[in-house]
Chain A
Amino acid sequence: MIAVLALIAGVVAGVLLEPTVPLALQPYLPIAVVAALDAVFGGIRAKLDGVFDDKQFVVSFVSNVLVAGFIVFLGDQLGVGGQLSTGVVVVLGVRIFGNVAAIRRRLFRA
């Protein structure tokens, strides 16, 4: 419950405070969002499975975002930024789908 409230508070703060992202970081924003979504859905699934762990969640969130951003940054430097971000999105997308499917099975037994 408190987690949902924190998420909503974050969205509200983002809308109201209108923080500006430095121009250099803007290309990594979409990738960071996908990485964060992966961590969130992983956390929700772990919660439903009864194995949720705060440390694991925080570390997976931070490292997901940082690693995804770093891979894309590295790709940009090597001139294959587009392909590498596609790879990151595919891998994280598969994980998100897998976790959402597990959540769905838990909730709806289907």
Chain B
Amino acid sequence: MSAREGDDLPERGTSEQQSKVPPDFLVELFTNALDPGYAEAASRRTGRPQKAAWVALTARVVSLFLVGLLLAVAYREAVAAEPERSEAHAGLIDEVRAAQARTDELQRRSEHLRQQVGALRRAALGGESEELRRIRDEEAATGLAAVTGSGIVVTLTDAPAQIDPTTGRPSVADVSRVLDVDLQGIVNGLWASGAEAIAIDGQRLATTSTIRAAGSAVLVDFRPVASPYEVSAIGPGDLGDRFVGSAAAATARGLVERYGLGFAVRGESGLRLPAAAARSLRHAHPAQPVQPSQPAQPTSPTTGPPR
């Protein structure tokens, strides 16, 4: 390196030779960082006396002033841009939270109204009629009504975070997490073992419920659930034994052995599972308009499908 120092500037003869045979651009870039213009200007200056020193000085001062200004402005812009970005992020998070709170509120209202409907129906049908019992059974089976009873709680947990030996930071590989298919397997096993009502982390499953993955999150009916996943199921007395002996439980035990997931089954009495989120019927249309005075459904684009 020190040998190179000499041929940067003073030996102008070599650079003259180089200009005849243009050097490789990259070699030139790495070996000769200084603008060759300085050397040329210096060689020109040796002949003539300095002219108009104050003009040159002013130009130097002005451009250095501009450099300082540029640095300060760029710094300010960079600082100003950062909170904007995080503000947008925080704004989105707030929006999601607000929407979730609104959904919760609406769900609570819906449940409350459903209870009122149930009470009114009981009053209308009077006491313990055969009709009423049938409606109640079917509501329980379809997840439209909250149910209580004894059953089992299956707990699935992600594997503990492994410390990566090279980075020293916890790393969770995708396979050591509970996936949507694992939960689906557990739920299907529970249904097959005779469960009558199932909820995941307090989210009741109805006939059209979904268990899906979005990124690394598991969504039940589009609501995120997190580890530990508690799958509560109400069913007959032998539900626990039948589930433990089922293929789904064997698969889960395999996951425990291979990936270190947590898996536990415990019996519990007095489970209370809430009603599932109300579903609108999207595919069923009345064949005839309910009221003769109303126009037929297809001719009135303003009225949506019956809810």
- Chain A residues close to B by CB (< 8 Å): 2-3, 6-15, 18-19, 21, 26, 29-30, 32-33, 36, 39-40, 42, 45-46, 49-62, 65, 91, 94-99, 101-102, 105
Contact = CB atoms under 8 A, between A and B. Distances in A.
Contacts of B61: 2-3, 6
Contact of A40 (B37, B39, B67): B67
What's the dominant secondary structure at chain A's contact region?
Answer: helix
Contact of A95 (B9, B29, B70, B72): B29
Contacts of A18: 76
Interface size class of B (residues with CB under 8 A): 35 or more
B34 A46 contact: yes
Given A15-B76, A99-B34, 18 more contacts: A3-B61, A6-B60, A7-B67, A9-B65, A10-B66, A13-B69, A19-B73, A30-B74, A32-B74, A33-B74, A51-B42, A52-B38, A53-B37, A59-B37, A61-B63, A94-B33, A95-B29, A99-B33
B29 to A, nearest CB: 6
A55 B33 contact: no
Given A51-B9, A102-B8, A29 B74 contact: yes
12 contacts: A9-B65, A14-B76, A15-B72, A21-B77, A26-B77, A36-B66, A40-B64, A42-B33, A46-B34, A65-B70, A99-B34, A101-B33
A32 B38 contact: no
Contacts of A57: 60, 63
B34 A36 contact: no
B35 A91 contact: no
Contact of A6 (B5, B45, B68, B75): B68
Interface string B23-59: 0000001101111011101100100000000001101
Contacts of B8: 49, 102
B65 to A, nearest CB: 4
B71 A29 contact: no
A23 B293 CA distance: 61
Contacts of B68: 6-14
Given A6-B61, A58-B60, A102-B8, A46 B71 contact: no
B14 to A, nearest CB: 16
A39 B34 CA distance: 10
Contacts of A14: 68-73, 75-76
Contacts of B42: 50-51, 53
B2 interface: yes
A60 B59 contact: no
A40 to B, nearest CB: 6
A13 B65 contact: yes
B73 A53 contact: no
A25 to B, nearest CB: 10
A98 B1 CA distance: 11
